[in-house]
Chain A
Amino acid sequence: MDEVILRSERLTKSFGKFIAIDNIDLKFKSGIITSIIGPNGAGKTTAINLLTGALHPDKGKVFFKDKDITSLTPDQSVKHGITRSFQIMNIFPMLTVLQNVELPLLSLLGKNLKWFYAVSRYRDVAEEAEKILRELSLWDKRNKVAGELSHGDQRALEMGMAIAPKPEMCFLDEPSSGTNPLERASILELIKRLAEEGSTTFVIIEHDMDVVFSLSDWTIVMNKGKVLAEGEPDEIRQNKEVVEIYLGEEV
């Protein structure tokens, strides 16, 4: 369980003169929930962008199960088993809820170039989509247009899209942002359940400290493009430096 599934070596990325990620080595162990925290502009999202292929680093390398995946494009990295959700809601607003989860399944099941029969004719896609929607409790709303769902439901749907390709590793970028406390609780519940049931390793970026400490087994604290500290949530809570730069106002 403790083996490292994804790691980066001296990852560096700058935008103009601003160094977003400064020479960092990250390690993610498989089978546990890791969270990345840090103040705004710490480079959390940039780090995920680099690890999932949305951006390519200026320097450094990314290894997934000891395979160099630094220069993969997002669709290739999904095929290797890495998916993600986004900080800013990213679903298909004009498609129905059902279509939203069918789409991620097409590539997984090798149906993305089928062009003649209706999507519903492919049994494996339909069955898998139903399973996911039931898990998310969205099955009753399957024929609704996704853009018309409540914010919390859209968040859940996006998570469903991230886990639909059955990834080995899934990055969730602030999965609870913009939700009310009730929705947040159910989303956390969902993440917990998915992590326990499935074989997916989750990495979560969060602002909300309750989320971090209740959910994760390992915490990485970032600041100004560097890793400030990492450890078990309890250790982090007591780390003086971390408290100073980040937790000070909240604890």
Chain B
Amino acid sequence: MTWLTNTLVLSINSHRFKLVWLGAFIIFLFILPLFSGDYLLYMVMQMAILCLLSYSVNLLLGYTGLLSFGQAGFYACGAYACGKVLLAGASLLPGIVIGVAVAAIAAIILGFFCVRHTAIYFAMLTLAFGMMIFSLTQKWVNFTGGDDGLIGIPRAALNFFYIFNIKMDTIPAYYYFVIAATLIAIYILYRILNSPLGLIFQGIRDSETRVSFVGISVRKSRLICFTIAGMYAGLGGALLAPLEQTITPSASHWINSTDPIIATLLGGMYNFSGPIVGSVIYFLLKDIIVRFTMNWMLILGIIIIILVLTFRGGVMGAFRAYLLPWLKSRLRQGA
């Protein structure tokens, strides 16, 4: 037994330990459809989409020090663009790619104005642009369908020339696609954040004057960051369109900007896995509390206040600061 606890103590913080957890989590996600109904899969897909949005928020907030209230706008860009393309009869992949591309273009154009400012001005500008997109989705009736939105978006098959052709009409099939796309996107973000570019983002968060005095254009780097964040929100939206098969202006409502902010704060914004943990917890909390009381916002508000006042680093921050050392000391005592 001593041997076992010793190995546990040694491995609990190591890279390999994290990889084992990660592997188990991914396997769980992939075998989930074997023993669960469509509703649960639908929920997990919603979590995955919230998770992408949260990463979009946290790339800006936790890694570059910018609070955006406008990510719903890019989310809607992705959703509408993907919906339009699929309604025109394209297959799934072009729909997703164009959804992401449209969100990226929107982010470059709006980011050009936003990244000149920081802190409260940046937050207000993004909120304003987000609301502009919201009213655009409502008023541009010819293109967006107004309040009715886009209806009957097909869950088109995933085909790539003649190499493969996978039908997506069933929930489990689309579930695999969403999970794969989300995991790949998160992996790419992980690489970005550990790369030179990611280091620059974190430098900007810590001190933008210092970054400019080591020879790097802060504005340009911020614009790149804003564009990547827009793409992640756009991917979330693009995945939503075939899932819901209907896209209404509510996709661009500011609530879709604040939900991921709350999820990120819940999970921990200085931790890479914070947005995943936060999205899952936020979703479950909402779902569980709603069963007991209509005033779920009140309960959630209390939980968030406690979290912000006591655990600045969110759940993952608390795990690292309190639970992990406690667990280690317990294991050591046992050994």
| B-binding residues in A (CB < 8 A) | 52, 54, 73-75, 78-79, 83-84, 86, 90-95, 99, 102-104, 106-108, 111-119, 122, 125, 161-162, 164-165
Contacts and interface: CB of A to CB of B under 8 A. Distances in A.
Interface residues of B, number: 27
17 contacts: A75-B218, A78-B214, A90-B207, A91-B206, A91-B210, A92-B210, A103-B216, A106-B199, A106-B214, A106-B216, A111-B196, A114-B195, A114-B197, A115-B192, A117-B191, A119-B199, A125-B196
Given A92-B210, A95-B206, A103-B203, A108 B215 contact: yes
Interface of B: 191-192, 194-200, 202-203, 205-207, 209-218, 221, 224, 270
A116 B210 contact: no
B71 to A, nearest CB: 20
Contacts of B221: 112
A107 B211 CA distance: 10
Contact of A79 (B192, B198, B205, B215): B215
B198 A115 contact: yes
Contacts of B207: 90-93
A79 B197 CA distance: 18
Nearest to B206: A92
B216 A118 contact: no
In the A-B complex, the 4 residue pairs with the closest CB atoms: A78-B215, A107-B215, A104-B214, A92-B206
Contacts of B216: 75, 103, 106-107, 112
A107 B216 CA distance: 6
Contact of B213 (A74, A114, A116): A74
A180 to B, nearest CB: 24
B199 A115 contact: no
B316 to A, nearest CB: 16
Given A74-B212, A104-B214, A112-B197, A92 B203 contact: yes
Contacts of A78: 212-215
B239 to A, nearest CB: 23
Contacts of A115: 191-192, 195-198
